[in-house]
Amino acid sequence: MLEPFCQSILEVDLDALKHNFSVLQGKCNCSAVVKADAYGLGVVPVTKALSSIGCNFFWVATLEEAVTVRAVSPLATVAVFSQLWDQEAFRYAKQLQLLPVLNRIEEVELAEPDMPVIVHIDTGMNRLGIAYKDIDKYRPRIAKLNLFHIMSHLVSSQVPDDEINGQQLNKFNRVRELFPNVKASLANSSGVFLGEDYHADLARCGSAMYGINPTPYHEDNPMKCVANLYGKIVQIHSVEQGQTIGYCGTYTAPSERVVATVSLGYADGYLRESSNKAKAYVSGKIVDVVGRVSMDTVILDVTNAKDSVAPGGWVEFFGQHIPIDEYASLCGTIGYECLTRVGLRVQRVYHGSQE
């Protein structure tokens, strides 16, 4: 049951989350990426739910995020992707038994030899990591560390026939040969579906757990829907033919229309790019977003649902009936951004068990 006094809600299905992780785990050994507040879904309940089904390896972006996960899961392995590591940060990580991901040779040189670390080798992303071309030069220094894993990150795993996937795999396999007794991690969510060659010892699963399609978007999504975004109808009124709707009059009513104003806007993370493009679901009908999305409101053409909508009713903007990948595509972006943009004003409501 949706909360009665909220104006907007992100409904999170924890049982679907656990199902999705289990599906991925059935393909290869998986860990969970819970950075950015578990992609906006809430890192505490998400971590608890995943821990309850045996997930014991989590990835975050920063030390601050790691502190939260460590408090929720005291015995799990918690790796930190993109922290800038200096001596003070290393001391703090050691105190909390966190696992630093080292992206620079300067960090390799600062790390204590007995501290478990992951070394990130850049095989093509050109974002973070020690450059592949320098691996032979730096191998003796890296080999002195207590290497928990080596890792790299795929550039285009969601496009199976992109030749860069094979190029990265070849580079990564050569790196593994240089460190033959060290475990390795390459695949992200989409990488899991590229096949066993990409699985290595551990996959890092994020988006697929949260219901985003890890396969090319023209294929059916093998994941269950986890996140549903709802807004509440606050007003319904008629618009005469020729009248405009919203800021700057970007939509003109082609005939008399019935419109609903919904309490959800770009301040809540509903993208302004969805103006005059996106769809919503209300009372069993798919309806159009008309006019520009405002800071606090969205306007919908509910003419085809006018007999079954009223102020106080709920509207789905993505979820079971409006797949997040379709919404994202209409806005020229990806599901990752749509989830992580959902604002703090949107109340998170959880269904399913955290235990």
Q: CA-CA distances (angstroms) from residue 103 to 86, 163, 355?
A: 12, 25, 35
Backbone angles phi, psi at 226, to 5 degrees: -110, -40
Element (H, E) at 262: strand 257-263
Closest CA to 284 of 262, 315, 245, 318: 315
The answer for residues whose C-beta is within 8 angstroms of residue 118's C-beta and 6 or more apart is 79, 99, 100, 101, 102, 147, 148, 149, 150, 151, 185
- Please report, as a single letter, which amino acid is at residue 117: V
The answer for residues whose C-beta is within 8 angstroms of residue 78's C-beta and 6 or more apart is 58, 59, 60, 66, 69, 70, 96, 97, 98, 99
Element (H, E) at 178: helix 163-178
Catalytic residue from among 144, 230, 247, 350: 247
327 tagged catalytic:
no
171 tagged catalytic:
no
DSSP 107-165: HHHHS-TTSEEEEEEESS--SSSEEGGGHHHHHHHHHTSEEEEEE---SSTTSTT-HHH
Judge whether 32 and 59 are in contact, CB under 8 Å: yes
Helix or strand or coil: residue 197? helix
Q: What CA–CA distance (Å, rounded) separates 80 from 59? A: 6
Catalytic residue from among 18, 35, 171, 279: 35
Q: What CA–CA distance (Å, rounded) separates 326 from 333? A: 10
Q: Which residue numbers are catalytic?
A: 35, 247
